[in-house]
Amino acid sequence: MSVRTATERRCIVSGETKDSAEMLRFVIGPGDEVVFDVAGKLPGRGLWLSARLDMLKTAAAKGAFARAAKARAKVPDTLIDDVTRLLKSRCLSRLGLARRSGDLVQGFDNVRASLKAHKPGLLIEAADGGEDGREKITRLAPDVPVVALFTAEEIGLAIGRDNAVHALIAPGKMAEAFLRDAGRLAGVLDQPLAGNVNPGGTLD
């Protein structure tokens, strides 16, 4: 029999047990409405879901929130859009924090130089960036994890530029937190972290 640790939670739809950092937490808010708790800090009993689009759809359609809470639970029509928007905003905010802390390198030449100097981390590639440029960068980092969930404009706005196609977050807690949130977002979007780009390996 497995023992659930303090950081593990059970999905109210599938019954799977996972680390809470990889899952989606919801609470019943004012007016009995289901609210996504993107930071995991809202008061109230947590209702946990695996970070997957099918889990979200099933929970919303089959009354899973109300059953788990043993209370009324109104699911807003915008729930999936709300979850996507909040996760995306959280990821992009982390990019801004990484830039301000000096943990972010951006731009083709700078990222390429860092990778050639064997300074790994977490590679961010714009989903709408040129395929040739992305291939040249990822070829230098076959074992570096890659996230390609955001447009060049979204990345640029997050780090104070018009557009940004290539960025690299230095190894550490910042990169690990970004990768966890990006993984949750990818699950909700029902798409791979890196799309058609080499997904890479670990942050070690």
Q: What is the pLDDT of residues 46-89, one digit of tens each?
A: 999 999 999 999 999 999 999 999 999 999 999 999 999 999 99
The whole-chain average pLDDT of the chain stands at 92
Per the DSSP assignment, residues forming a β-bridge with 35 are 27
Token output for 73: 């639970």
39 — pLDDT class (breaks 50, 70, 90)? very high
Per the DSSP assignment, residues forming a β-bridge with 18 are 9
Q: How far apart are CA 50 and CA 11, in angstroms?
A: 6
Proportion of the chain above pLDDT 90, given as a percent: 83
Between 26-35, 41-50, 152-161, 187-196, the lowest mean confidence (pLDDT) is in 187-196
C-beta pairs of 106-109 under 8 Å, 24+ apart in sequence: 106/159, 106/161, 106/164, 106/166, 106/167, 106/168, 107/164, 107/166, 108/133, 108/136, 108/137, 108/165, 108/166
Q: How far apart are CA 150 and CA 152, in angstroms?
A: 7
Whether residue 203 is predicted with pLDDT greater than 70 in this model: the reply is no
**Sequence letter at residue 80:** I
**Contact at 8 Å (CB) between 28 and 44?**
yes
Task: Give every strand in the sheet of 146-147, ordered side by side.
Answer: 104-106, 166-169, 122-125, 146-147
pLDDT of the residue at 5: 56
What is the rounded average pLDDT of the residues 90-111?
96
User: What DSSP state is assigned to residue 179?
Assistant: H
Between strands 104-106 and 166-169, the pairing is antiparallel
Neighbours of 114 (CB within 10 A): 18
Nearest residue to 95 via CA among 40, 138, 53, 151: 151
Between strands 122-125 and 146-147, the pairing is parallel
The pLDDT tens digits for 124-171 are: 999 999 989 999 999 998 889 999 999 999 999 999 999 999 999 999
**Which domains occur in the chain, in start order?**
8-77 (3.30.1230.10), 84-189 (3.30.1330.30)
